[in-house]
Structure 1
Amino acid sequence: MNWDIIEGKWDQVKGSIKEQWGNLTDDELTEIAGKKDKLAGKLQEKYGWTKEEAEQHMDDFVRERT
């Protein structure tokens, strides 16, 4: 699975994203709408990660589901 697929299936993936990163609200997930850069920004904001850390966590998330 890559981010193009995640963006296209965002409504189905949102639950897994919420489970993985519980600090994200439903409104934030709606705002993110599958956009990788928006998710990275929210993860940085919520968890205090650098952009590189957020992207690594996101890549791990995708890798675990393929």
Structure 2
Amino acid sequence: MNKDEAGGNWKQFKGKVKEQWGKLTDDDLTVVEGKRDQLVGKIQERYGYQKDKAEKELSDWETRNNHRW
């Protein structure tokens, strides 16, 4: 997958991310721009989760949505 494909996939999944983690703002998602590690950090920040909980939630979400980074 090249960078353009990854960016396109991110735009498709952005709405699903907001459904799952509604506390994330549009600005948060603009900063994240498809970068998994930054999304984990934003989930931690907005929800007060430990890193392992944020990682698990994101992994579960990825599985349900068939999303690959």
**What TM-score, normalized by structure 1, do the two folds share?**
0.85
Identity of aligned residues (%): 50
Gaps of 5+ in 1: 1-6
- 2:47 alignment counterpart: 47
SS in 1 for 2:30: helix
* Structure 2 letter corresponding to 1:13: F
Distance 2:19 2:57 in 1: 14
Equivalent-residue separation in structure 2 for 1:64 and 1:50 (angstroms) = 22
What corresponds to 1:27 in structure 2? 27
Aligned residue pair count: 61
Q: In the aligned structure 1, how far is the partner of 2:29 from the partner of 2:50?
A: 20
**Aligned residues: CA RMSD:** 1.6
Q: Which has the higher contact order (CA 8 A, sep 6+)?
A: 1
Runs of 4+ aligned structure 1 residues displaced above 6 Å come to: none
* Structure 2 residue runs without a partner (length 5+): none
Give the greater-gyration-radius structure (CA).
Answer: 2
TM-score, reference length from structure 2: 0.82
Deviation at 1:65, TM superposition (A): 1.6
